[in-house]
């Protein structure tokens, strides 16, 4: 596995070593031991999630607050997305900055999203199967987010706004500037 640092401290892109031949391909998608060697600390994933979406669907920008904050390891099993993370850690030198990357079933890249980040993605292919591991359980009372078209963040989602499909719940998320001091 090759590891690429992003401009946001602690957020990493993982490139698996892929073995291909005339039968297809094989790669190790996760090794707890190797993952912790790369991070330099222990992460205990406790929940795996999958979603299916069609072109233009935008999910995010989501995070969980307080004791239910989650680190995530995200990847695409089929299709293509633009994946976006926002640093919400007040003591971070990259607080309020975002990073985006195309994840797809061709490049097989994974993105590690540490606790203290908002996360979202928009589907760029006709359909996508999205997979993520979480190091904490989902808690409905702790869920929060930032509206996808926040003017301060100014994220380029690579699609025209009229082509983006957002849930009514996500359209009601607060702006970055109105987030409480503690998340």
Structure confidence at residue 27 (pLDDT): 80
Whether 132 is a known active-site residue: answer: yes
- In this structure, the number of other CB atoms found within 10 A of the CB of residue 105 comes to 14
Q: What is the pLDDT of residue 183?
A: 64
Q: Which residues contact 23 (CB under 8 A, 6 or more apart)?
A: none
Q: Which of 15, 25, 52, 62 is catalytic?
A: 62
Q: Please identify which of the residues 15, 129, 132, 138 carries the catalytic annotation.
A: 132
Q: In which region does residue 124 sit, left (phi positive, over 0), alpha (psi from -120 to 50) or beta (all else)?
A: alpha
Phi, psi dihedral angles at 84 (to 5 degrees): -130, 135
Q: Of 73, 30, 67, whose CA–CA distance to 49 is shortest?
A: 73
pLDDT tens, the chain, 183 aa long: 788 999 999 999 998 888 888 998 788 788 888 888 888 889 999 999 999 999 999 999 999 999 999 999 999 999 999 999 999 999 999 999 999 999 999 999 999 999 999 999 999 999 999 999 999 999 999 999 999 999 999 999 999 999 999 999 999 999 999 987 666
Residue 62 annotated to the active site: yes
pLDDT tens-place string over residues 106-147: 999 999 999 999 999 999 999 999 999 999 999 999 999 999
This prediction has a pTM of: 0.92
Give the chain's radius of gyration (CA, Å).
16
Q: How far is CA 46 from the centre of its chain?
A: 17
Give all domains of the chain, ordered by start, each with its CATH number.
Answer: 45-178 (2.60.120.10)
């Amino acid at each position: 596995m090759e590891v690429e640092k992003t401009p946001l401290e602690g957020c990493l892109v993982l490139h698996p070593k892929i073995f291909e031949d005339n039968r297809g391909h094989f790669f190790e998608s996760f090794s707890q031991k190797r993952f912790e060697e790369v991070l330099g600390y222990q992460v205990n994933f406790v929940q795996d999630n999958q979603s299916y979406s069609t072109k233009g669907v935008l999910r995010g920008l989501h995070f969980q607050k307080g004791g239910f904050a989650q680190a995530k390891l995200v990847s695409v099993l089929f299709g293509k997305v633009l994946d976006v993370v926002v640093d919400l850690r007040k003591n971070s030198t990259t607080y309020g900055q975002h990073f985006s990357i195309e994840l797809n079933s061709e490049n097989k890249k994974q993105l590690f999203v540490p606790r203290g980040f908002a996360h979202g993605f928009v589907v760029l292919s006709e359909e996508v199967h999205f997979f993520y591991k979480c190091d904490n359980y989902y808690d409905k009372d702790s869920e929060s987010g930032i509206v996808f078209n926040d003017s301060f963040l100014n994220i380029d989602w690579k699609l025209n706004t009229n082509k983006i499909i957002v849930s009514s719940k996500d359209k009601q998320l607060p702006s970055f500037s109105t987030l409480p001091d503690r998340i």
